[in-house]
Amino acid sequence: MALDTLSETKAFGGVQGVYSHASAATGTDMTFSVYLPPHHDGARLPVLWFLSGLTCTHANVTEKGEFRAACAQHGIAFIAPDTSPRGDDVPDAADEYDFGKGAGFYVDATCQPWAKHYRMRSYIEDELPSLVAEHFPLDMARQSICGHSMGGHGALTIALRNPDRFRSVSAFSPIVAPSQVPWGEKALGRYLGDDRSAWREYDAVALIEDGARHPHMLVDQGTADNFLAEQLQTSQLSIACAKAGMEPAIRMQEGYDHSYYFISTFMAEHVAWHASRINAA
């Protein structure tokens, strides 16, 4: 699969790159970033994926996430995909920040006009991993995943569906039960249709209720997050995990909001937490 290099810049002894390619999954060009820490020739690097939230692209975490020093210290590659397909031919809801471009919700849409391009599940779970494995010195047997808000929803659901692939999963301010909150009801209803049973594989709480498990889960949620009560509802994840016998680290961080000031404060801790699991024998 062909890959175009948009930029490469030295950072913390490694290389921060931005790349694009023609995606078969979405039928569009897609852009993503990869940070490769300093490494010896012939090394194969473990991978930490980061999925971004509503309205974001790869650029938000790449420019504001403050992950590179920690990734360089622990020898972990950091990959940040886009959040949805892009392009003039891609359907959108231009006056709705929480739907359409920038709001792919990491699903494979089944309803028109979204089904042709909005296939972010296939893109993140299948196509992009194959592409980066071909072009970068990665050890795809050692992967973990992280995300923020809508991307936290994506990280949790992808890890719960693929526990053997991802050694650990963490999230900042995730939408834990999209089937039960306005953001998720809007997106899942329009991308997938009215049958709520089809939504459950894209809902972390529902997946756990239906038997999915992951042994290594970390969630940080700010107590001053203005989306907490209506859209995020972290307590639902705590309840579902307790009923399932799971023991995730769910940390309520006093006074923090939904922004990248919050994410960047705890990003190095997340990278180190993943490193202790991703590098385990």
Of these residues, 214, 216, 258, 274, which one is catalytic? 258
Q: Is 95 a catalytic residue?
A: no
Q: Is 139 a catalytic residue?
A: no
- Among candidate residues 145, 132, 162, the one with its CA nearest the CA of residue 23: 132
CB atoms within 10 A of CB 271: 27
Of these residues, 33, 58, 225, 274, which one is catalytic? 225
Beta strands 77-80 and 29-36 are antiparallel
Residue the block writes with tokens 């692209």: 57
Residue the block writes with tokens 């994926």: 49
Q: Is 172 left (phi over 0), alpha (psi -120 to 50) or beta?
A: beta
Q: Which residues of 124-156 are buried (b: 16+ CB within 10 A; e: fewer)?
A: bbebbbebbeebbebeeebbbbbbbbbbbbbbb
Strand order in the sheet with 29-36: 4-11, 14-22, 29-36, 77-80, 45-51, 138-148, 166-172, 217-222, 249-253
Of these residues, 149, 170, 173, 179, which one is catalytic? 149
Q: Is 41 a catalytic residue?
A: no
Question: What are the catalytic residues?
Answer: 149, 225, 258
